[in-house]
Chains A and B, each alone.
Chain A
Amino acid sequence: MSRWWWAGALAAAALIALGGWLGEPGQALRNASDVCLACMGIG
């Protein structure tokens, strides 16, 4: 694995941890649990 790959993996882990700490999974749950009118072509 190249240095770039390891840097990317480290960045991915840090971003996921930061998002989790900020409560993004809960926000994602709320977003995904609403009927998305855009997805359905309404509006």
Chain B
Amino acid sequence: MRHLVQVLASVAQNAYLAFPWTRTLYQGPAKRFCSPVSNCHSCPAAVLSCPLGTLQHFLASVRPAVRWGTYRLGFSIVGFLLAVGLVGGRFACGWLCPFGLLQELLHKIPSPVWRIPKALRRLPFAALAGLVVLLPLILVNRLGYGEPWFCRLVCPPGTLEASGLFLVIPELRDQLGPSFAWKAGVLTLFLGWAVVSFRPYCQTLCPLGALYGLFNRGSLLRVEHDPARCRDCGACGQGCRVGLDPRRDSGSPSCLRCFECATRHCPNGALAVRLGPHTFTAPCAPPSTRAS
């Protein structure tokens, strides 16, 4: 079910399939709005803006916006990110992100599994604060414009998706330089890493996931643990692919909100998905073990 939603969401966000003929990006009205996940708006098929790219664009032009009195400082994108986080926490990561889906598919390749150390899970917060917020604000040219540094230096989904333009505008290939080689290297690193680790980009770099993760503890959609039903078998923790123990850590910023702990792993119905006041008990929990 989740993979089906991920595929549908990926297709829906990249539904402009006329680009091989038009040889341009989609420029229609839908691009006024952001996708909730990292989906590069320079992907020729993208029909929505990327929230990270949009946020950086606004932050990079704060000084000119103030100087010229437009005051377009990115209020709407901040409000949008706040709203997505408040409703679902990292739900968008687990269910809607195309790059997350790609990493999960790569992780299905049979290989040894390497669990990502917890210390690396702080890096996304550094990327968010440094590359997404501070550098675009601080490093500006003579006209007062900054750069989208996260896009420029690392963003693997952007490298992958924007590279689609090289297929339709071959002239752009002549302008490739060390910057592209660096970004392609970062992308290759994460795609290779995804074979042995579960969604390494999401766990160690994604600033958007870091931001949404801050809302995991109080979002409308969340996982709830019922100690009365729990038999402490530990199946949820053993099954969690980001190495959390959902009995204690269901509000952790690292939780991708895949809900597999509640819907696949807990045999006792002790973990439930909650949407505000509504509770959805695990459908796969055997009925005989639900009541205790």
Contact = CB atoms under 8 A, between A and B. Distances in A.
A19 B75 contact: yes
Nearest to A20: B76
A17 to B, nearest CB: 8
A37 B90 CA distance: 29
B52 to A, nearest CB: 10
Interface in A11-41: 11-20, 22-29, 31-41
Given A26-B32, A36-B162, A16 B76 contact: yes
B202 to A, nearest CB: 19
B22 to A, nearest CB: 12
Where chain A touches its partner, the secondary structure class is helix
Contacts of A12: 79-80, 82-83, 86
B72 to A, nearest CB: 5
B158 interface: yes
A27 B75 CA distance: 12
Given A22-B72, A24-B58, A39 B151 contact: yes
B101 interface: no
A1 B222 CA distance: 12
A34 B105 CA distance: 31
Given A22-B75, A36-B42, A15 B54 contact: no
Contacts of B27: 29, 33
A32 B50 contact: yes
B41 interface: yes
Chain B CB within 10 Å, residue with most, of A23, A25, A43: A25
A43 to B, nearest CB: 6
Nearest to A1: B276
Nearest to B180: A41
A18 B76 contact: yes
B50 to A, nearest CB: 7
A16 B74 CA distance: 9
Nearest to A15: B79
